[in-house]
Structure 1
Amino acid sequence: MVSSASALLALPFPSSSSSSDDSDDTQTLPAPHVPEPEVASPAPAPAPQQRLQVRRWLDLERDCNLAMKALARAGDIEQVVDLFSELLLSASRTGVAPSVLCYNTLLNALAEDGRALETRKVFDEMLAAGVAPNASSFNILVKLYAWRTSEFHLAYDEICGMQGHGVVPDVGTYSTLITGLCRAGRLGEAWGVLDWMLHEGCRPMVHTYTPIVQGYCREGSFEEARKLIEFMESAGCPPNAVTYNVLIRALCDDSRFDEVEQVLAEIKTKGQKPSTVSYNIYMDALSKKGMAKKALKQVEVMQGEGLYPTAFTLSIVLNCFCRTSRFLEVISLLEKSTELHGCTAAVAYNTVMSRLCDMGRWSAVLELWADMTKKGIIPNTRTFNILINSLCIGGKISIVKNLVCNQVFPANVVTYNTIIHWFYYHGMVSEVNNMLVHMTEVANVAPDEVTYTIIVDGLCRQGKFDEATNCFKDSLKNSLSKDLLTVLINRLAHSDRIGNILVALEEIERQGFVRDYLIFHNTIVSICREGFHEYTEIFSLDFLLYGMFGPGKVVYPACKGRGKR
């Protein structure tokens, strides 16, 4: 088995391997690609000066559109808005209007960010400027209402209103709506949209059916999913690798490995072959279920199919050896992977180092770190965090503190959370505040939900309940974490700190978060678990209930996030 895994490493690895430590797999269901029609070129201007002016405008518009798309991919929506505003100003001076392609770029950026009101406003401004929307314009609105806001009635309204603008719904329009309905579990309605598009003479494509396959898989209706795939074949729309991977992933999640083998065999009988992603999904599931030997067997199968491994494939193979404590083979694999470079090698080492760290073998982690350094492999942030955690396990807290405070490597919030946790664990409470100051003021790293949870739990363990409650109140400036609240309530209930519980609940209300019944249900469960249902504690429980549900208190049936009542 080692020889087969080693043979895998002899294959050339793709140079574009992902730097992720988790997976190189692409998203299961990418958004349907809807090509945008070309914009008709303006009629040639009679004068050379006018032609030059038009040419300059078209070049400016093209460059701005490319820049807006790049900014949108980077998540900088405000810059997209600002750049479009500048383009709009230049357009007004030239006496023209931005094209529908530029408007679509802005619309899509806003829709992806969930800004429904702004998206609608820009669309209306586009109409007011005399720019005719195309199918992509409406598809963006359908995606907004079907994927982001789940306002399906508005999605239907947009589709029905397309013909009023001389635009015919295309396969992307219907497929986008179907995807949203399937994500919401409305499979019956999705079938209705499929019938609708067929009635309109629009032929479904593979990305129309695949969301329905995934919807059935989410429900555990694997037989229906298989039947739909068979129907796709007979309808002249054969499933692609994404469709099969949706089914394979769902079967793996349900540990139906015999059926996975059937699907893989079925793909081959149809003249296709499973993709590397298909095998990665299968191998990863087998490995996580402790079936390392069977997972490694897939290496030979992949090799026989002529498939190239990815960084994630190597990560799975290494995990299999680590799970069975075959560390000699692990080191052998790493030594044979000298042709790997960059992020691929770092991911491989991270996999092994993380497993050794989990087993408490911190000295072995240091040895691998030294080996990385000798090979000139550049570690990433995750590598540093594994090293930090390993040193903390080994009790080398002073070394960790010096590494971070002297900024030997770029620490992130995970780094600081790890150190703060171990400070509490080793009783070094006085060091926590110093590290928090360094984290927020020197490194400019904002605490997250995990940070607050570690601190609240640590303070409660020391009996500093007022400080723990204040820390929870401070966390609300970011968001309401149910997990953090549960930790706090459990600690307070265990120490009979009813007053602090009420303070925390009142602060939730004061900050404008929705008061939903789940918060109170979990609170009552924690209280009763600590024995407050006994006769001797009934007064405390009654006092708490009055504070939660007394006069003037309103409780909503479900939590919708943050919002003023």
Structure 2
Amino acid sequence: MGYSSAAAAAFAVLPVPSPSSSDDSDDANTLPTNPIVEPEVASPHQTPPPKLQQLERGCNLAMTPLGRAGDVDQVVHLFSDLMLSTSSAGVPPSVLCYNTLLNALVEAGRAVEARSVFDGMLAAGVAPNASSFNILVKLYAWRTADFHLAYDQIHAMRRHGLLPDVGTFSTLVTGLCRAGKLDEAWGVLDWMLQEGCRPMVHTYTPIVQGYCRQGQIEEATNLIGFMEEAGCPPNAVTYNVLIRALCDDARFAEVEQVLAEIETKGHELSTVTYNIYMDALGKKGMAKEALKQFEALQCKGLHPTAFTLSIILNCLCCTSRFSQAISILERSTDLNFCAAVVAYNTVMSRLCDMGRWPAVLELLADMIKKCIVPNTRTLNIFIHSLCIADKLSVAKKLVYNQGFPANAVTYNTLIHSFYLRGEAYEADNMFAYMTEVANIAPDEVTYTIMVDGLCRQGKFDKATDFFKESLRNRLRLSKDLLTALLNGLARSDRNTNILVVFQEIERQGFVRCYLIFGDTVRSICQVGFRQHTKMYGLPFLLEGMLGPGKEVYPAHKGQGKGK
């Protein structure tokens, strides 16, 4: 274990920190919050006039949500406009505005631009504050994993008369834990204590998660116990990290113990905690147990989220309680449940699998009535339901509708259904519409469906051409696609086509590996080459596939064509 008695003793002489809002987060995936950009003291410059101060505040209020939404280009644009206004007044933007831009660039991983903005801030005479350096530490510890540069920023703070705070060290600890450097993270904690900076819950939680990621759940549990003893009790995020790890290992009895421990210590369970547990139970086929946890959640007065509802609906469908699932969706408004599009998709998908397309249609109508906007997955489920109901003409009309948000999955469903119904002409037309009118690139599934369908029609040359096109367009050798083509060619003794396939594989830079040859031999043998009358052709075919003097290489993809 990385902690020591010296570390524990150090807590006794340090002041108890005030709680921060970040500690109340229920999201087990978000460990410490991003370095917080707070209002600062103005730089040692001429105080901007009131109108300019108001402009800065308004600009910063606009940039902050845009940065959180990932619209970094718009943040850059607003900051550029602000620069023009402040330049005319003879003063640069405030450090707060610089920090907002800097944080947006770091969150987007635009390291070079972020460093340029920081250097520009220094050149403009704007003094950075602790938040400025914390953002740079995040850049190098979280985004680029250049930890030596992260350490450099912490040392640079002192040259600017600043001291690293708990946010600085916690950000570095989080980056180290994400990189699996747990021992080094413990070293940073010792450094914190030497600096008189007390670790907080969001300093320790990344280490708990680091242990869990490495499968050291006992170490994580011991660390949580140490946090309690040291006067830094774990919060909901910390416990959720541990519960998620236990759930991943299906150690549900221990999950129950942790839940009981949380309540015994006076902590409140959150909806997120129950979601983690219920989701794991559902994925392990323990739907009834998950539904019991849902009842416990409601008994505690916790409000189900959209994800909660999706989990429960899936469990109800798994236990064939469709009527109850449909009832919950239809009564979701009265029950005050957050029924989002994901919840409807969950039930509609299950109903589609059961062939109950009228029920799918009814739920789609219920969604629209409640002003819940269907997404592409919703409409793909509906298209699949129509295909199962043999209503391909209706499905085709919907897809041809200009407002229908079709994707490759949509077209794959229809092309496959037309081939199954023996309507190859319609399937070919649908593929042409997909690529030429809708301008949607076919994926591996599309090519596999087309190749299999063409082989069944006896159009082996065209099927081979489709395979060659997939290699040119996708730059990936799909095992499913190759198997579909080889099975079709082998069934009709199309040895010449098989040799062409292997020539194209090599020409496109893919190494012909033993797995490919194994699949080829298997395809050939399954359709009759195992009979003595056809065995003479197998060595000839294999020799042509390998070529003179060729070996069967380990499986890998070449770096480029001709490799």
Deviation at 1:345, TM superposition (A): 5.7
Distance 1:301-1:341 versus aligned 2 partners, 3 A rule = closer
Structure 1 counterpart of 2:300: 305
Farther-moved stretch of structure 1 (207-216 vs 434-443): 434-443
Percent of aligned positions that are identical: 58
Query: Are residue 468 (structure 1) and residue 467 (structure 2) matched?
Result: yes
Structure 2 counterpart of 1:540: 545
Cα distance in 2 between the residues matched to 1:223 and 1:121: 44
Deviation at 1:407, TM superposition (A): 3.8
Cα distance in 2 between the residues matched to 1:502 and 1:141: 52
**Is contact 1:64–1:87 with CA below 8 Å preserved after alignment?**
yes
Deviation at 1:97, TM superposition (A): 0.9
Map 1:246-257 to 2 at 5 A: 246-257=241-252
Cα distance in 2 between the residues matched to 1:115 and 1:126: 17
* Counterpart code for 1:530: T
How much is the aligned-residue C-alpha RMSD, in angstroms?
3.6
**Is contact 1:32–1:175 with CA below 8 Å preserved after alignment?**
no
1:276-300 CA-to-partner distances (Å, cap 9, x unmatched) read 1111211121122121222121133
**Is contact 2:316–2:324 with CA below 8 Å preserved after alignment?**
yes
Farther-moved stretch of structure 1 (317-326 vs 223-232): 317-326
Structure 2 counterpart of 1:213: 208
Structure 2 counterpart of 1:79: 74
Query: Are residue 325 (structure 1) and residue 330 (structure 2) matched?
Result: no
**Is contact 1:459–1:468 with CA below 8 Å preserved after alignment?**
no
Map 1:156-171 to 2 at 5 A: 156-171=151-166
Deviation at 1:238, TM superposition (A): 0.8
* Counterpart code for 2:180: G
Cα distance in 2 between the residues matched to 1:452 and 1:281: 33
Map 1:437-448 to 2 at 5 A: 447=441
Structure 2 counterpart of 1:35: 36
* Counterpart code for 1:140: I
Deviation at 1:75, TM superposition (A): 2.2
1:433-473 CA-to-partner distances (Å, cap 9, x unmatched) read 655665577667x54xxx41122213432342333332443
Structure 1 counterpart of 2:526: none
Q: Bigger relative contact order, structure 1 or 2, given CA contacts below 8 A and separation 6+?
A: 1
Farther-moved stretch of structure 1 (64-73 vs 170-179): 64-73
Deviation at 1:31, TM superposition (A): 4.4
Query: Are residue 452 (structure 1) and residue 447 (structure 2) matched?
Result: no
Structure 1 counterpart of 2:278: 283
Paired residue secondary structure (2:334): coil
Cα distance in 1 between the residues matched to 2:245 and 2:93: 45
Match of 2:520 among 522, 530, 545: 530
Match of 2:234 among 230, 235, 239: 239
Deviation at 1:43, TM superposition (A): 9.3
**Is contact 2:279–2:311 with CA below 8 Å preserved after alignment?**
yes
Structure 2 counterpart of 1:296: 291
**Is contact 1:455–1:468 with CA below 8 Å preserved after alignment?**
no
Paired residue secondary structure (2:91): coil
Structure 1 counterpart of 2:94: 99
1:140-181 CA-to-partner distances (Å, cap 9, x unmatched) read 222222222222222222222222222221111111121122
Farther-moved stretch of structure 1 (30-39 vs 267-276): 30-39
TM-score (normalizing by structure 1) = 0.78
Deviation at 1:259, TM superposition (A): 0.6
Paired residue secondary structure (1:344): coil
Map 1:410-421 to 2 at 5 A: 410-412=405-407, 414-421=409-416
Match of 2:188 among 186, 193, 196: 193
Distance 1:44-1:528 versus aligned 2 partners, 3 A rule = closer
* Counterpart code for 1:455: T
* Counterpart code for 1:35: I
Cα distance in 2 between the residues matched to 1:543 and 1:146: 53
Deviation at 1:267, TM superposition (A): 0.2
Structure 1 counterpart of 2:374: 380
Structure 2 counterpart of 1:119: 114
Deviation at 1:543, TM superposition (A): 6.6
Distance 1:228-1:390 versus aligned 2 partners, 3 A rule = same
Cα distance in 1 between the residues matched to 2:483 and 2:152: 48
* Counterpart code for 1:403: L
* Counterpart code for 1:468: F
Cα distance in 1 between the residues matched to 2:82 and 2:182: 42
**Is contact 2:220–2:242 with CA below 8 Å preserved after alignment?**
yes
Number of residue pairs the alignment of both structures matches: 504
1:48-89 CA-to-partner distances (Å, cap 9, x unmatched) read xxx9x7122222222222222233233222222222222222
Cα distance in 2 between the residues matched to 1:170 and 1:544: 66
Map 1:361-400 to 2 at 5 A: 361-370=356-365, 372=367, 376=370, 378-381=372-375, 382-400=377-395
Cα distance in 2 between the residues matched to 1:238 and 1:31: 15
* Counterpart code for 2:184: E
TM-score (normalizing by structure 2) = 0.79
**Is contact 1:139–1:173 with CA below 8 Å preserved after alignment?**
yes
Match of 1:149 among 135, 144, 156: 144
Larger Rg: 2
Paired residue secondary structure (2:443): helix
Deviation at 1:255, TM superposition (A): 0.7
Structure 1 counterpart of 2:5: none
**Is contact 1:342–1:377 with CA below 8 Å preserved after alignment?**
no
Farther-moved stretch of structure 1 (451-460 vs 411-420): 411-420
Paired residue secondary structure (1:530): helix
Paired residue secondary structure (1:162): helix
Deviation at 1:539, TM superposition (A): 5.4
1:18-69 CA-to-partner distances (Å, cap 9, x unmatched) read xxxxxx9846224424333433358998xxxxx9x71222222222222222
1:221-262 CA-to-partner distances (Å, cap 9, x unmatched) read 111111011111111111111111111111111111001000
Cα distance in 2 between the residues matched to 1:436 and 1:139: 52
Paired residue secondary structure (1:315): helix
Structure 2 counterpart of 1:222: 217
1:309-367 CA-to-partner distances (Å, cap 9, x unmatched) read 22322322222221111223334434543415896264443322121122333333234
Cα distance in 2 between the residues matched to 1:84 and 1:348: 40
**Is contact 1:311–1:348 with CA below 8 Å preserved after alignment?**
yes
Query: Are residue 183 (structure 1) and residue 178 (structure 2) matched?
Result: yes
* Counterpart code for 1:267: I
Deviation at 1:499, TM superposition (A): 5.5
**Is contact 1:489–1:501 with CA below 8 Å preserved after alignment?**
no
Distance 1:87-1:335 versus aligned 2 partners, 3 A rule = closer
Cα distance in 2 between the residues matched to 1:285 and 1:147: 28
* Counterpart code for 2:381: I
Deviation at 1:203, TM superposition (A): 1.0
Cα distance in 2 between the residues matched to 1:354 and 1:411: 17
Farther-moved stretch of structure 1 (458-467 vs 94-103): 458-467
Deviation at 1:406, TM superposition (A): 2.1
